[in-house]
Amino acid sequence: MPQHQRPFLALGLRLAATLALATLYMMVKLLHQRGVALPEIMFWRQALTIPLLGGWLAVRGKLFSLYTRRLKTHALRTITGSIGMVCLFGAQVLLPLPVATVLGFTTPLFAVLLTAIVYKSPPGRLRWMAVALGFAGVLIITAPRDGASIAGGISPLGLAAGLSSGFLVAVISLQIRDLTSTETPIAVVFYFALFGTLLLTPTMLWYMTPHSPALWAEIIAMGVVGALAQVLLTAALRFGSAASVLVMDYATLIWTTIYGWTIFEQLPPAHTWAGAPLIVAAGMMIALREHRRVKEDRIKAARETA
């Protein structure tokens, strides 16, 4: 095992990242309930990342890691990422936190389908089974019941935002896969924040409003937590492969359920607990299959170089 690979540290960092992400989602929902418009929340989420991340790199003497020749690609990734953030935060605002989190777990399912289309790589039988299982879970969560139009009265717009977020994160993962072939992970995060801030700045003419010192403190805390989540996600991938750490992402459901219960006095409908295990199981099947594939490729490469 290469010296930089420290799987237990990577898992711990990823677990900490899930807590930071769940805290970010909770704060976004709380800020919106306190009258902060979603565009302003998105603006400060991005804008505060720039000095935090830039200052962190400057202290470590690593500003050179931001060097890039692919500003246009970063800008295109920002457009997709900003739309994805609207859907992600919109789902958190409109739905119970655990429901929005579960819908976000559809990303691996969409990733399998997109990989098959973009890279002309047909999924194996196990992956097709996982996709079918996962979308069966989605149908259980979103199916009409009790005379309600959809999902027992849960916001249809919120459900659409949650599923769109899962799809767009899969698209973004392909863009990041391309970018990280030439860019450092920290540069990808930094330029997303930079271009995202520039993109959202004009919206502040309509959406920025005065806030109390206490509310400003919450907004700043939200930005810090968001930046911390990005750093933890990046650090986890430094010490372990994506396939080995992704299984920890499902811990986000635990944190968001706790936040939903203790802060918003809001628990997901009962049928969510019937559909959620199917979506989680599907994602884990895909992650474990990817982990096995990476391991097989390493063994094959070692034999070829022996």
User: Which pLDDT does position 153 carry in this prediction?
Assistant: 59
How many Å apart are CA 285 and CA 133, to the nearest integer? 10
Angstrom distance (rounded) from CA 220 to CA 16: 20
Chain segment 227-238, per-residue pLDDT in tens: 888 878 777 777
Report how far residue 169's alpha carbon sits from residue 153's, in angstroms, rounded to the nearest whole number: 26
Band (8; pLDDT cuts 50, 70, 90) = confident
Reduced to 3 states (helix: H, G, I; strand: E, B; else coil), residue 127 is helix
Torsion angle of alpha carbons 151, 155, 156, 162, nearest 10°?
A: -100
CB 193 within 8 A of CB 53: yes
Q: Pick from 83, 81, 86: which is nearest to 40 by CA?
A: 86
Greatest mean pLDDT among 11-15, 217-221, 273-277: 217-221
Distances (CA, A) of 12 to 154, 232, 234, 249: 34, 10, 13, 11
How does residue 281 score in pLDDT terms, banded at 50, 70 and 90? confident
HSE-up (13 A, CA, CB side) for residue 200: 26
Structure confidence by residue, pLDDT tens digits, 148-190: 545 555 788 998 999 999 999 888 888 887 887 788 888 888 9
